[in-house]
Structure 1
């Protein structure tokens, strides 16, 4: 049997989808499993065990629905038995349809009912991991009992005396404001006197990190790696770290998936749906006293700067980290 899985389009969602991939492998033990992944996220696919072939897809290389259709049609000679489509956009359904896979499974959204052979009503209120698993359960008609988000990344260097910090997010409502970030950094370096802190981010986030690290205390223990690692390298960096302190973002899921102790700072996002899935070595912190939390918006419409992030308690963050760092 040959199975093709179209992975989601965002880093955190791809990481959460590894539970789905693991469940498919467990159900179809003798199947060959291939995946389609957004070009910018290809490095993550290398860390998912049991994948046979990785197709890299880019809207720039295959523009419009015609480009998507041609890409899907190029898969037709592979004669896939099942095509699981995890996104729920029209273009992803067109790609699935063009592949001519015998069974095309996805959510009943954006025309999916017409282009898929099995369309599943998208559940409401479930965690994203469980949402994806619903697609497999719809095909097999039996529950998936074991759900584990997992990436295999070996530590790239000795970062055992370092904490990785990610204060970035694609959404400004989930990003730590600069002044608040400096306050947290100063509190951390004052309390954890024997540790170094490594700041990560994408190349476009590097200017934010540069600004964040200005006028902070103990600069000799602050290391800026923003824009200097690819996604695979970031996972390997996190795999060797003492802990990861991060906003609600893709890197939070990355850290959780490589089993590094992870503290996630939540604001606009809803942890019931999108918090890292593995509960071992995970702590979620939010302010929790604003009536607008969580607004699930990408920008703060009420305050401009996200007050839910601005009001986070440094003492709670230090306490959470202390559980993993053997500090009183």
Structure 2
């Protein structure tokens, strides 16, 4: 009997199946340092322990996306090892800031299945929950991924596509305990723009670009213990290219958004996201944002901006999301809708 794990194929999933993912992963300050080496991030809260303490967060949290990538990586061997591509996210909430020393464990429940018309692949919908060392929920999200079938002749399961909320309601956002932006240091943060300076419908060109490299994207993906074959093995795709992990593009775009959104300090929720086109080493990523909504919160001095973050291959000064045909414009790599906490 083989002792190795070939990963699950589409026909291995069943509706309601619950998967406990190995292995727990402890967050360290090394993750913070490596994240800063991989992405041009400069947000003050995860960068400065003194700044974080000044707004009520002590010890200083790591970037929310570090926690997301670690928790997501746990799911890969069981959910997407044999994936064609990760397709999207919804209903992601960060329940509390993650700090060095926290240990994350992840479990997933299969909430939907849909075989594709080609009979060779299918879409698996899962809801994943990451808990900390005390069993408290740290973050949760839903995602859907296209997975290969092992046996193309295997019968299709009953088609179940879950209804997922398009937006996490602002009243369901979890504001970190003690967060207080009343005495926010705008000079230290890097920009003067606050909640009232942003208008719904406004678009912000983040200007800067970063060319993706083969070594960096594989290092990042290994850092999160994401073992998906398509990111490492040139034999895993017919075109012989290693696919850039979608989370790498998310983190790159988020880091680039500092220029224009430096005070969008904390991600409270990800409403939805789509990887609209593949990215490969050599592509140069740019980003722009659109303000979709604004809301006040109960925390002192804290407002919430609902933002659309768009990553593109090559800079698009026109900031075009979709063409006249309703399809994503050429060059769009990522369409991410999220809530960020900003000073009022």
Which TM-score band (shorter chain)? under 0.3
More helix by share: 1
More strand by share: 2
**TM-score normalised by the chain length of structure 2:** 0.27
Q: Point out which structure has higher relative CO (alpha carbons under 8 A, 6+ apart).
A: 2
